[in-house]
Amino acid sequence: MKLLLCEECNDVRKLDYEVTSCKCGRVKARYLRDGWHAEHNGLGFLLGMNNSSLGGAIHGFRQAAEVGNDMVNQEPSPFVFDAWVMTGNPRVAINPDL
Ligand SMILES: [Zn+2]
């Protein structure tokens, strides 16, 4: 899953195939047809999130809630998931015309 991040309004939004913009309208981005690559207007940042990693963290949270264990101090934490800044990644193009 890809998200856009605007440092001006601190908004984070999930990308779609239609152009998505942050709350203030400064950062714009969208998925390309293949659903894998994306383009943005060159402002702000695009973030990538590993969907299966996120699913694992949510599953870990639910399991912990069922047994009443907050697992805050467990290493490795079952609540951590992979996310990264994708700006500059070859799967992300800049299109100032968005
Ligand atoms: Zn903004």
**pLDDT tens column, 51-76:** 999 999 899 888 888 887 766 677 77
Give the pLDDT confidence score for residue 72 in this predicted structure: 64
Q: Give the Å distance between the CA of 33 and the centre of ligand 1.
A: 25
**pTM summary value:** 0.84
Torsion of CA 8, 42, 85, 93, to 10 degrees: 160
Cα–Cα distance between 98 and 16 in angstroms, integer?
Answer: 13
* β-pair type (20-21, 28-31): antiparallel
pLDDT single digits (tens) 27-37: 999 999 999 99
Q: Give the Å distance between the CA of 9 and the centre of ligand 1.
A: 4
Q: Give the Å distance between the CA of 31 and the centre of ligand 1.
A: 18
Q: Give the Å distance between the CA of 13 and the centre of ligand 1.
A: 10
Q: Give the Å distance between the CA of 69 and the centre of ligand 1.
A: 38
Q: Give the Å distance between the CA of 61 and the centre of ligand 1.
A: 31
Q: Give the Å distance between the CA of 12 and the centre of ligand 1.
A: 9
